Structure 1
Amino acid sequence: MAVRKTIFVTGGGSGIGRAIAIRFAHAGWFVGLGDVSEAGMAETEALMPGGFAYSHVFDVADRAAWDEALRIVSVAAGGRIDVVANNAGISLGGPLEEYEQDEIDRILDVNLKGVIYGAQAAYPYLKASAPGSCLVNTASAAALYGMANQSLYGACKAGVRSLTESLDAEWAPDGIRVRSLMPSFIDTPLLQNTPNRKRNAIIREAVVEAGLEFTPVEEVAEAAWRAVTGEQLHHVVGKSARKMRLLAKWAPGALRKRSRLLAEAHERTKR
């Protein structure tokens, strides 16, 4: 009898995390969900087939909480974790001078330190289920080129990209794959937030004003599946992200222009 594989997805209460959880559940995997929102995870579980899921409320910025979460999910799954989707994240945007210190600390804690903590905590579980185990880190197209009003968010995601490359080399002898997802703008609950406390317009309005398209969240989930089953290191997802990758290599001046247009769009939606 084949052993049921297990994936643990942080940020599983909405958006990309929810889509990844549903995709793997449809493939017959046991899915562990981690999020600060118990209600969000309950909604995700209700959308998943098979009933093979377990939810655990925790904050990825808490290193000790990572150990507890993985231990509990491993027990619930029957003793193994094959994939950890290091996906939880928060948004912060607008000009750097508008950020308050606690906002800076929180995005660094969740979007960068939380990913590092998750990788460190996941390692023994992934090593135990190797070969074929995988750490999937959700980065962003923001890691490809720094854009206006995304300075700290982009810095975090660039760090996630670098971490992925480093760990892919470090963990290869253990049979562990390390991969990243780099989606362009996804219409998730994150975009319904304001960029920072000094602004009232939600992030989504600036994206629409700048004429940028949204990538369906299901495309990111499919990229996660390919990341786990294939050999490609970085998975750039969405038309805008693929165009950005091309421009970053061959026409960085065009991206500088786009960055300034995005800054202007943020100013037009400021209120």
Structure 2
Amino acid sequence: MSAGETRRSIFVTGGASGIGRAVAVFFSERGWFVGIADIDAAGMQETLAQAKDGCASTHELDVRDKRQWETALADFAKAAGGRIDAVFNNAGIGDGGALADQDEDEITRMLDINMKGVIWGAQASHKYLAETAPGSVLLNTASLAGIIGSPGLAAYCATKWGVRGLTESLDAEWAEDGITVASLCPGFIDTAIIGKVNEESNQTAKETLLEQGVEVNPVDIVPEVVWRAVHGDDLHYTVGKMAKRLRFMQRWLPGMVRKEMRKTGIGVEI
């Protein structure tokens, strides 16, 4: 950063592991000040240890709690020198299985974290992003599951389609404020979300996916896409070849995608 240049800042939820950790470290190494937010205090400290010295702070945050959002962002703004340039609304969970068999608590938790948590984050961050606009960004993590509906992932898909819908609405709603709004749509990424063991198969979701020939990407491909999103003006950003291909097919060959999902699908219990 050159003399007199203002250091930019980004607030990252789900920063204790996975995509959030990779993005936090990547941005800190490029001179950004990063807010690492999560409910996992130990995980946040591990991320902080990997980030560039003096380029990050940690903030305990349960994204389901609107008041915690307000407190965490206010604290981060102070730590960042009074400004927030980007908010990466990334925290999320995944549970799968036949919808008829999923229990109420499981579905409610996904709705609260994956959907309501993103809405609360958007509400709480607007005033900060409006102050640093134009050029400020709200980036919401959707998914390949927000592009196509997959068997075994109905409730999860619903939350991620909701994130894409929210993103498109805010792209229009916040345009006059000069705030860029975009979504990140990764395919399957090698993180803890696909590392859980399915009791019936005694396999992880990752193992099942690989057996099915489904692409699983390393987490280190994600930060560069996030970097492009924070500096770009597209609405949706896919991560991985499969996500890019299926987004194209869903747009131009929806009948083929529907037939394939009915026949084989790409759903796994995550």
> What is the TM-score of this pair, normalised by structure 2?
0.93
Give 1:219's aligned residue.
221
The corresponding residue for 1:127 is 130
Give 1:150 deviation, angstroms.
Answer: 1.0
Structure 1 residue aligned with 2:156: 153
C-alpha offsets along residues 84-141 of structure 1, whole Å, 9 cap, x if unaligned? 0000000111111221110010000000000000000000010111111000001001
* Equivalence for 1:42: 45
Matched, 1:30 2:33: yes
1:54 to 41, 54, 57: 57
- For the residue of structure 2 that corresponds to 1:9, the secondary structure is strand
Q: Work out the number of aligned pairs and report it.
A: 266
Are 2:253 and 1:251 aligned?
Answer: yes
Q: CA deviation at 1:78?
A: 1.2
For residue 188 of structure 1, what is the aligned residue in structure 2? Answer: 191
Aligned partners of 2:206 and 2:216 also within 8 Å? no
User: Shift in Å at residue 160 of structure 1?
Assistant: 0.4
Query: Who is 1:174 aligned against?
Result: 177
* Structure 2 counterpart of 1:18: 21
Q: Could you tell me how far apart the structure 2 residues matched to 1:126 and 1:192 are?
A: 35
- For residues 99-138 of structure 1, the aligned pairs below 5 Å read 99-138=102-141
Question: Which of 67, 81, 86 is the matching residue for 2:70?
Answer: 67
Cα distance in 2 for partners of 1:76, 1:22 equals 17
User: What's the CA shift string for 1:160-189, capped at 9, x where partnerless?
Assistant: 001111101111111100011101000001
RMSD: 1.9
Q: Normalising by structure 1, what TM-score?
A: 0.92
Structure 2, unpaired ranges of 5+: none
Name the SS for the 1:136 alignment partner.
strand
Match of 2:81 among 78, 102, 115: 78
Q: Does the aligned pair in 1 maintain the 2:62–2:68 contact within 8 Å?
A: yes
Structure 1 CA distance for aligned equivalents of residues 115 and 6 of structure 2 = 33
